[in-house]
Structure 1
Amino acid sequence: MKKTVIALLAGVATASVAATAFAKEGPVPYGMRHLDHVLLIMMENHGYAEIINNPNMPFTNKLANKAGLATNYFAVGHPSLTNYLEVVGGSNFGVLNDHSPDWHNGSCQTNLSTGQPALDQSSYPNICPFRGAGNDAATPAIDTSNLEGNQPGPVININGSASYPAQPTVAKTIAHQIVAKGGTWKTYQESLPPTGADNVNSADGVFSNLNPPTSAGVTDGVVGLYAVKHNPFAYFLDIQNGTHPGLSLGNVASFDGNTGLFADLRKGHVPTFSFIAPNQCNDQHGRSGAGPQCDYDPNDVGTQKGLNPALMYQGDVALERIVGAIKASPSWNEGRNAIVIVWDESDYANAPITNQVALIVDTNDGDHDHDADDSHARKSGRYYTHYSLLKSIEGALGLPCLNHACDATTDTMNDLFDGRK
């Protein structure tokens, strides 16, 4: 992810969030209405104030005004991979960087087993694939240790006052839980090469780190549109190796092709849980070398003033296309379904910018004409985090809570997922 200098946040308390240390899975979260399908779209590196009321994001803001909007929702840590893991697994699994997996290595020591976090420093090795159990990494409110590229620091997590201690953690995700219950899952990763996800760390839809353009006589390098750091399931050894039926890299598809996102939607072949990651131009992350419409924000300080308007608009158009395809799918009106759009984190920014991000929930309650008015518009000012999102999806799908989603301080988002008037 992009890294800009973050100044010292003065006078902010670092009180810990009290957490009940569930070592594996707890009970099914209570109070959530049943869902048949959840389609989660992950966007990148922009805080709440940069998204909401942004004139370069007309579709997103129209949707936020007619569906459910969380106005007090926080990403947990930094950088990107950490948040992706927290959304699908309720833990950072000891990883506080964006490094690629140490593919198929079953003999290395995981960060869970050693209890030593993988910090955001270039000297740290690739990530040992997750397996087993152990302790994850603590998330302090003000992080003064994970600063490479973020000098002079510190890094602000959550809301600048809440924190999470390290706790016993099991190497599982919501995908593992869904398969155990007999459901289906898939992660759609835009610009994945046709050869699939195995050993692929970066790709642009055809070329990848395994098949660089120079091998075909093309001189430009791979434009890293697909990034494995946005594919959290690829970091689990059993998924890398396809150890269990229903859990493999075969569950990873691109947006295009016969098994891609748009083909599945047209056919009405929608799994129980879809994790949708647009590429790094369409998710508002930005990439150098991909053209001015994909350039990084020139001055990301937590407000709209320093943003690249083309990058913001491109992300808005991408969301409109994805959401439109979901609502045009035969599966949208089959059962009770929800689309969730969330940003992984606010980018590293100047204090007092916190890790507040936007989250939108759109259910198919009253939306059978594909053009519903404000019949299920709602806003929630309740305090939520990525762990709340996981706990809510688990409750709605009848799954046990997992890792930090089991914390007593993690609330379900029933007010946003209940789309009735």
Structure 2
Amino acid sequence: MKWRNRMIRKGQEVFFWILPFCLLLGVETKALRAASLPPADHVVVIVMENKSFGEVYKNPDLPFFNAISGELLLNYWSVAHPSLPNYLALLGAHPPLPQTDNPRVRVSGDSLPEEMVRHGLSVAAYMQGLPHDGFGGGRYPRLFGRYVEKHDPFLLFSRLRKGPERRSVHPLSRLKEDLESNRLPAFSFVAPDLCHDMHGAFSCHMNRRELLREGDRFLGKWIPLIEGSPSFRQGRFWIFVLWDESGSRSSWGGPPLPAVVPSSSRMHGGGRVALLWIDSKRPGHSRVSCFANHYSLLETVTENFHLPSLVPAEERIPLPEKNGDCSGNHGKITLAHP
């Protein structure tokens, strides 16, 4: 009996001696596993139009958007008014951005699609209402058109418009084909037409609430199609749903701005908007209040694909999920009560 008790005490001593090392090993393994999570194989960016954060968040006219799982950024900002410069910023245009919606505007310099193709990665834009691949008109139909080139940033960069990337601008119907055939490119840009992006047009014959509902139905159709695709199920897949700008400075929505705001207007120049980040490997709902803007999204995508940064140095703040906390957001806008 004494021999058995001594063995039990000895076993307990050994157990408590190695326990801290086991715990440390477990923590280290977990940290290594978190640090080695694979990047996304596919990224889809869906851009809606002209609604502030307060106009979409918890709005009963958007039941699908407000119910779908993902990480909602509570402190996400567009960078300019009107719409066109925000589309340019999302793909890499640097300030000063053109303050116009003129579709004849062309910008030079590097862009995300060009960098991806340069590094052997595939890209595509899927534009609702586009009559055929590579169409270069300002709107379609010409009278009361619902497709507008100002929402098609692939065609606003001079080199993209003249280069092979132009052949990667497709009608939205092509997206369904590419999803079903497992041919989705690494990066996809999706833009609804004016009657489905919540912007509206004379030919839509819808009031404001009807436009919101129609936009939500668009998301309710296409996001499940994406999530049901082989690409979404097989690898890591990100979907970003966001609004280009708030529509007007009077409709920023949400809590009031703090008393002190940054001197650089481009960080929040288009108002506070919503961004939802859907990750195929991280289901569930979460909310993050760190500051981010369109350049943060661009930086996150370029980091994911190991591309050179296309973001101005002072704006290189990845989305919160990438940097883990708000420590890099000093001097930016923060909302005490999001």
TM range (shorter): 0.7 to 0.9
- The residue that corresponds to 1:386 in the other structure is 294
What RMSD, in angstroms, separates the aligned Cα atoms of the two structures? 2.2
Q: Is the 8 A contact 1:32 1:414 kept in 2?
A: no
Q: Distance in 2 between matches of 1:249 and 1:399?
A: 21
Instruction: Tell me the secondary structure at the aligned position of residue 233 of structure 2.
Output: coil
Alignment CA distance shift 1:273-1:314 (3 Å): same
Q: Is the 8 A contact 2:56 2:274 kept in 1?
A: yes
Q: Distance in 1 between matches of 2:83 and 2:249?
A: 14
Q: Does 1:267 align with 2:196?
A: no
Q: Is the 8 A contact 1:47 1:357 kept in 2?
A: yes
- The residue that corresponds to 2:40 in the other structure is 35
* Bigger Cα Rg: 2
Instruction: Tell me the secondary structure at the aligned position of residue 71 of structure 1.
Output: strand
Q: TM-score, normalised by structure 2?
A: 0.76
Instruction: Tell me the secondary structure at the aligned position of residue 97 of structure 1.
Output: coil
Give the counterpart letter for 1:254 in structure 2: P
- The residue that corresponds to 2:305 in the other structure is 397
Q: Is the 8 A contact 1:392 1:414 kept in 2?
A: no
Q: Distance in 1 between matches of 2:191 and 2:278?
A: 17
- The residue that corresponds to 1:150 in the other structure is none
Give the counterpart letter for 1:413 in structure 2: L
- The residue that corresponds to 1:55 in the other structure is 60
Q: Does 1:200 align with 2:137?
A: yes
Q: Distance in 2 between matches of 1:263 and 1:357?
A: 31
Alignment CA distance shift 1:33-1:81 (3 Å): farther
Which deviates more, 51-60 or 282-291?
282-291
Instruction: Tell me the secondary structure at the aligned position of residue 273 of structure 2.
Output: coil
Q: Distance in 2 between matches of 1:268 and 1:352?
A: 39
Aligned mate of 1:337, from 237, 245, 249 = 237
Instruction: Tell me the secondary structure at the aligned position of residue 357 of structure 1.
Output: strand
- The residue that corresponds to 2:172 in the other structure is 255
The structure richer in helix per residue is: 2
Q: Distance in 2 between matches of 1:356 and 1:252?
A: 29
Q: Does 1:278 align with 2:184?
A: no
Q: Distance in 2 between matches of 1:270 and 1:416?
A: 24
Aligned mate of 2:275, from 343, 349, 359 = 359
Q: Does 1:377 align with 2:294?
A: no
Please state how far the C-alpha of 1:248 moved relative to its aligned partner.
2.8
Please state how far the C-alpha of 1:276 moved relative to its aligned partner.
0.3
- The residue that corresponds to 1:176 in the other structure is 114
- The residue that corresponds to 2:107 in the other structure is 130
Please state how far the C-alpha of 1:416 moved relative to its aligned partner.
6.8
- The residue that corresponds to 2:162 in the other structure is 241
Alignment CA distance shift 1:352-1:343 (3 Å): closer
Please state how far the C-alpha of 1:290 moved relative to its aligned partner.
2.1
Please state how far the C-alpha of 1:92 moved relative to its aligned partner.
4.8
Please state how far the C-alpha of 1:403 moved relative to its aligned partner.
3.4
- The residue that corresponds to 1:3 in the other structure is none
Q: Distance in 2 between matches of 1:352 and 1:395?
A: 29
Instruction: Tell me the secondary structure at the aligned position of residue 180 of structure 2.
Output: helix
Gaps of 5+ in 2: 1-34, 254-269, 325-338
Q: Is the 8 A contact 2:249 2:271 kept in 1?
A: no
Residues 307-328 of structure 1 show CA distances to partners (whole Å, capped at 9, x for unaligned) of x221111000000111011011
Please state how far the C-alpha of 1:198 moved relative to its aligned partner.
3.6
Q: Distance in 2 between matches of 1:229 and 1:358?
A: 21
Q: Is the 8 A contact 1:184 1:271 kept in 2?
A: yes
Q: Is the 8 A contact 2:93 2:107 kept in 1?
A: no
Give the counterpart letter for 1:229 in structure 2: K
- The residue that corresponds to 2:219 in the other structure is 319
Residues 290-345 of structure 1 show CA distances to partners (whole Å, capped at 9, x for unaligned) of 222xx4xxxxxxxxxxxx22111100000011101101111112221100000000
Q: Distance in 2 between matches of 1:44 and 1:251?
A: 23
Q: Distance in 1 between matches of 2:277 and 2:172?
A: 22
Q: Distance in 2 between matches of 1:351 and 1:59?
A: 22
Q: Is the 8 A contact 1:83 1:92 kept in 2?
A: no
Moved over 4 A (4+): 30-33, 351-354
Give the counterpart letter for 1:253 in structure 2: H
Instruction: Tell me the secondary structure at the aligned position of residue 331 of structure 1.
Output: helix
Q: Does 1:289 align with 2:203?
A: yes
